[in-house]
Structure 1
Amino acid sequence: MILLVDDTPENLISLKNVLEKHGFEVDTANSGEEALKKVLKNSYVLIILDVQMPEMDGFEVAEVISGYSKAKETAIIFLSAANTEFRFIAKGYSSGGLDYITKPVDINILLLKIKTFYRIYEQNRKLSEIQTALLEEIEFRKEAEQKKDEFISIASHELKTPLTSVKGYIQLLERGLNKGDIETVKSHLSKAQIQLEKLNGLIADLLDISKIESGKLKFNKQYFDFDQLLDGIIEVIHQSNPDFNIVKNGMVSAKIFGDEMRIEQVIVNFITNAIKYSPGTSQATMTVRLQNNELYLGVKDYGIGMQPDQVKRVFEKFYRVEETSHRFQGLGIGLYISSEIIKRHGGQINVQSVYGEGSEFYFTIPIEQLSAEV
Structure 2
Amino acid sequence: MILIVDDTPENLISLKRVLETHNFEVDTASSGEEALKKVLKNEYVLIILDVQMPGMDGFEVAEAISGYSKARETAIIFLSAANTELRFITKGYSSGGLDYITKPVDMDILLLKVKTFYRIYEQSRKLIEIQKALLDEIEFRKKAENKKDEFISIASHELKTPLTSVKGYVQLLERSIDKGDIPTVKKHLQKAQTQLDKLNELIADLLDISKIESGKLKFNKKNFRMEELLDSVIEIIHQSNPEFKILTIGSADIEIYGDEMRIEQVIINFLTNAIKYSPGTNEIRIKLHVEGNKLYLGVRDYGIGIDPKEQESVFDKFFRVEQTAIQFQGLGIGLYISAEIIRRHGGEVGVKSTPGEGSEFFFEIPLSAPAEN
Instruction: Name the TM-score class by shorter chain.
Output: over 0.9
Give the corresponding residue for 1:285. 285
CA distance in 1, matches of 2:219, 2:67: 61
The answer to whether the aligner puts 1:115 opposite 2:115 as a matched pair is: yes
- Residue type of the partner of 1:204? A
| Counterparts of 1:72 and 1:285, CA distance in 2 | 60
- Counterpart position of 2:93: 93
Question: What is the aligned partner in structure 1 of residue 360 from structure 2?
Answer: 360
Inter-partner Cα distance in structure 2 for 1:137 and 1:362: 32
- Structure 2 equivalent of residue 75 of structure 1: 75
Q: Secondary structure at the match of 2:70?
A: helix
The aligned residue for residue 103 of structure 2 is: 103
Q: Please state how far the C-alpha of 1:68 moved relative to its aligned partner.
A: 2.3
- The within-5 A match list for 1:298-309 is 298-309=298-309
Q: Which moved more, 1:40-49 or 1:173-182?
A: 40-49
Structure 1 residue 229 corresponds to structure 2 residue 215: no
Provide the residue aligned with 2:257 in structure 1: 257
State how far apart, in whole Å, the 2-side matches of 1:110 and 1:359 are.
66
- Output the amino acid matched with 1:120: I
Q: Report the Cα distance in structure 2 between the residues aligned to 1:298 and 1:22, rounded to whole angstroms.
A: 61
Structure 2 CA distance, aligned partners of 1:22 and 1:47?
Answer: 17
Opposite residue 61 of structure 1, the aligned amino acid is V
The residue aligned with 2:183 is: 183
Secondary structure class of the residue paired with 1:281: coil
CA RMSD of aligned residues (A): 1.4
2:7 paired residue number: 7
Question: Is the 2:307–2:354 Cα contact (8 Å) retained in structure 1?
Answer: yes
Give 1:119 shift: 2.2
Give 1:132 deviation, angstroms: 1.1
Comparing 220-229 with 89-98, which one deviates more in the overlay?
A: 89-98
User: Is residue 213 of structure 2 the alignment partner of residue 216 of structure 1?
Assistant: no
* Deviates further, 18-27 or 184-193: 18-27
Q: Is the 8 A contact 2:278 2:304 kept in 1?
A: yes
Structure 1's unaligned 5+ residue stretches are none
State the partner residue of 1:268.
268
CA shift for structure 1 position 362: 0.8
What is the DSSP-based 3-state SS (H/G/I as helix, E as strand, rest coil) of the residue aligned with 1:70? coil
What CA distance in whole angstroms lies between the structure 1 residues aligned with 2:310 and 2:23?
51
More displaced 10-residue stretch of structure 1: 186-195 or 70-79 = 70-79
Q: Shift in Å at residue 177 of structure 1? A: 1.1
**1:253-273 deviations in whole A, cap 9, x for unaligned?**
111111101111110011000
Offset, 1:65:
1.7
Moved more, 17-26 or 218-227: 17-26
Residue of structure 2 in register with 1:37 after alignment:
37
Are 2:257 and 2:368, in contact at CA under 8 Å, matched by a contact in 1? no
Deviations 1:40-72 (A, max 9, x none): 333221110001112222122212222222223
The equivalent of 1:28 in structure 2 is 28
Deviation at 1:204, TM superposition (A): 0.7
Identify the range of structure 1 (147-156 vs 15-24) with the bigger mean alpha-carbon deviation.
15-24
Q: 1:142, 1:301 → 2: CA distance?
A: 35
1:314 and 2:326 are equivalent in the alignment:
no
Q: TM-score, normalised by structure 1?
A: 0.95
Amino acid at match of 1:369: A
Please give the per-residue CA displacement for 1:20-54, whole angstroms capped at 9, x wherever unaligned.
Answer: 33343322222223222322333221110001112
Residues 321-345 of structure 1: CA distance to partner in whole angstroms, max 9, x if unpaired?
1111111010001111111111111
Q: Give yes or no for the alignment of 1:163 onto 2:172.
A: no
Stretch of structure 1 that moved more, 345-354 or 23-32: 23-32
| Structure 1 CA distance for aligned equivalents of residues 291 and 185 of structure 2 | 51
Q: Decide whether the 8 Å contact of 2:205 with 2:334 is kept in 1.
A: yes
- Give the CA deviation at 1:314: 0.8
Deviations 1:126-164 (A, max 9, x none): 221121111111111111111110010010001101111
- One-letter code of the match for 2:180? G
Match of 2:192 in 1: 192
How far off its partner does 1:198 sit? Answer: 0.5
- Does 1:130 find its partner at 2:103? no
Q: Any residues of structure 2 matched to 1:49-68 within 5 Å, and which?
A: 49-68=49-68
| Secondary structure in 2 matching 1:212 | helix
Q: Residue by residue, what CA displacement relative to the aligned partner does 1:172-220 show, whole Å, maximum 9, x if unpaired?
A: 1111111111111111111111111111111111111111111111111
Once residues 127 and 350 of structure 1 are traced to their aligned partners in structure 2, the CA distance between those partners, rounded to angstroms, is 38
Deviation at 1:105, TM superposition (A): 2.0
Which 5+ residue runs of structure 2 have no aligned equivalent? none
- In the alignment, which residue of structure 2 is the partner of 1:329? 329
- 1:16 maps to 16
How far does residue 110 in structure 1 lie from its aligned partner after superposition? Answer: 2.0
Structure 1 segments, 4+ long, off by >6 Å, are: none
After TM superposition, the score normalised by the length of structure 2 is: 0.96
Q: Distance in 2 between matches of 1:291 and 1:119?
A: 55
